[in-house]
Chains A and B, each alone.
Chain A
């Protein structure tokens, strides 16, 4: 019985820099796993490795048992791994609804086979609107994405990722730049997604989000995993406190 995602002794080196070193962990279905660590610890690099934006120097990554280490981001996305980005990357000429519509084509084959259906494709559009309701953007469907307020842009990125019908979602600092109220909404959304059966791997600096929402936490420092456990275990782990948490928790 293979895990949904498995990293096995993954390392990523850029010249002399060891961004990630000997990292191994796995993610089971319907888990909400948090990945924390100081800046520069290599968290986004790990996301880039999993999503295929870059390939590991050594080690392997498996998705549902299949090796995806060198597959490339398009194929990995089509296999069902979706992500958001640390610095929001939306499509500036597309509306909110467009973002979801274009992401829906992910599972139904390449852009070549989707050549000429028009946007009046009712069932898919209906699904898109429903998805936007879930993230709370139902009223914004026809607005240009780039004019949305920051918090809503973050949620749109999540909606776009969800639209690809993924079995694993990578969220890169979804709470960054959000105020108290928005962060609370985010926590609620994450719990909602989990209750719908999604599997989420989350990079976050906001400890409240991580400790309140995640079922398991991984701690990355200088490219190495130094701890792995439940939020309670992590919070009281002395190594973690020294290396990272300090008085932050």
Chain B
């Protein structure tokens, strides 16, 4: 496989993870604009562990992911008892606090960024992708998945049947943090150099757009959105410069006409039926 294709696939894998992180939180009816913050925690911590402390990559990545999820839990505790709007702003604030923190934090390079990470492989990235996907699929078929859907459909009714809405959202947030942390760590070890501007609000916004485009109702939508966002600019070279403009406009139109995104729950059910030969 040539280097160029490998690079695109690696980026796509990381984008899929980022989309999964966003999807996890969005499924609980909360919008997080702080994905980049978790990625930064994962990226910088894992880089520090491997470069400065000589840890192995797998251990470092997983540790960084756990750290990110712990941060998610701590940050989520106060934020999730607030209304949705405050939560959005809180995650925004969190993302910016993390970014500006690392901009100034000398031990991880400050404004000069961090380098020296040795690479992960394509295989490693997709191992994580496959693993997380499997967990998402399992979850969607379980009662916990039903509880999540219930909370998103009507959180008061969900509460009236004993579902702990706040706990569920807290868990989703920490889980999303874990995935984003891993994505950040893998990103750092693939591109070999990171700086705080890699983890800006734009990064978080892009993560949202992956899920918006592909479909916010199922995990496959998140995957599709990440794939499209990564691959389309490569296939349509001329779009490269205008990528932002075109995608932005297209998404606004899509939201107005089909807010559930490309892959809706019903279209997925239809596809499943066709594949099994049913009418």
> Which residues in A have some Cβ–Cβ distance to B below 8 Å?
51, 53, 73-74, 77-78, 82-83, 85, 89-94, 98, 101-107, 110-112, 114-119, 121, 160-161, 163-164
Q: Enumerate chain A residues within 8 angstroms of B243, measured Cβ to Cβ.
A: none
Q: For A53, A98, A103, A107, which residue has the most chain B Cβ atoms within 10 angstroms?
A: A103
Interchain CA distance A93-B138 in the complex, whole Å: 18
Do residues A110 and B167 form an inter-chain contact, with CB atoms below 8 A? yes
Do residues B157 and A89 form an inter-chain contact, with CB atoms below 8 A? yes
Do residues B142 and A78 form an inter-chain contact, with CB atoms below 8 A? no
Do residues B162 and A78 form an inter-chain contact, with CB atoms below 8 A? yes
Q: Enumerate chain A residues within 8 angstroms of B167, measured Cβ to Cβ.
A: 110-112
Cβ < 8 Å to A, chain B residues 98-149: 138-139, 141-144, 146-147, 149
8 smallest A-B Cβ distances: which pairs?
A: A106-B162, A77-B162, A102-B146, A91-B153, A89-B157, A103-B161, A73-B159, A78-B162
Do residues B171 and A112 form an inter-chain contact, with CB atoms below 8 A? yes
Interface size on B, residues (CB 8 A): 28
| Interface presence of B6 (CB below 8 A) | no
Interchain CA distance A83-B142 in the complex, whole Å: 24
Cβ < 8 Å to A, chain B residues 220-255: none
Q: Enumerate chain B residues within 8 angstroms of A73, measured Cβ to Cβ.
A: 156, 159-160
Dominant secondary structure at the B interface:
helix
Do residues B147 and A118 form an inter-chain contact, with CB atoms below 8 A? no
Do residues B157 and A90 form an inter-chain contact, with CB atoms below 8 A? yes
Q: Enumerate chain A residues within 8 angstroms of B88, measured Cβ to Cβ.
A: none
Q: Which residue of A lies closest to B166 (CB)?
A: A74
Q: Enumerate chain A residues within 8 angstroms of B162, measured Cβ to Cβ.
A: 74, 77-78, 103, 105-107, 164
Do residues A91 and B157 form an inter-chain contact, with CB atoms below 8 A? yes
Q: Which residue of B lies closest to A93 (CB)?
A: B149
| Interface presence of B192 (CB below 8 A) | no
Do residues A102 and B150 form an inter-chain contact, with CB atoms below 8 A? yes
Q: Enumerate chain A residues within 8 angstroms of B139, measured Cβ to Cβ.
A: 115-116
Do residues A53 and B164 form an inter-chain contact, with CB atoms below 8 A? no
Instruction: Tell me how far the C-beta of B254 lies from the nearest C-beta in chain A, rounded to whole angstroms.
Output: 20
Interchain CA distance A153-B138 in the complex, whole Å: 29
9 A-B pairs in the complex with CB atoms less than 8 angstroms apart: A91-B153, A94-B149, A103-B161, A105-B163, A107-B162, A110-B167, A114-B142, A160-B161, A164-B162
Contact of B147 among A85, A102, A161, A164 (CB under 8 A): A102
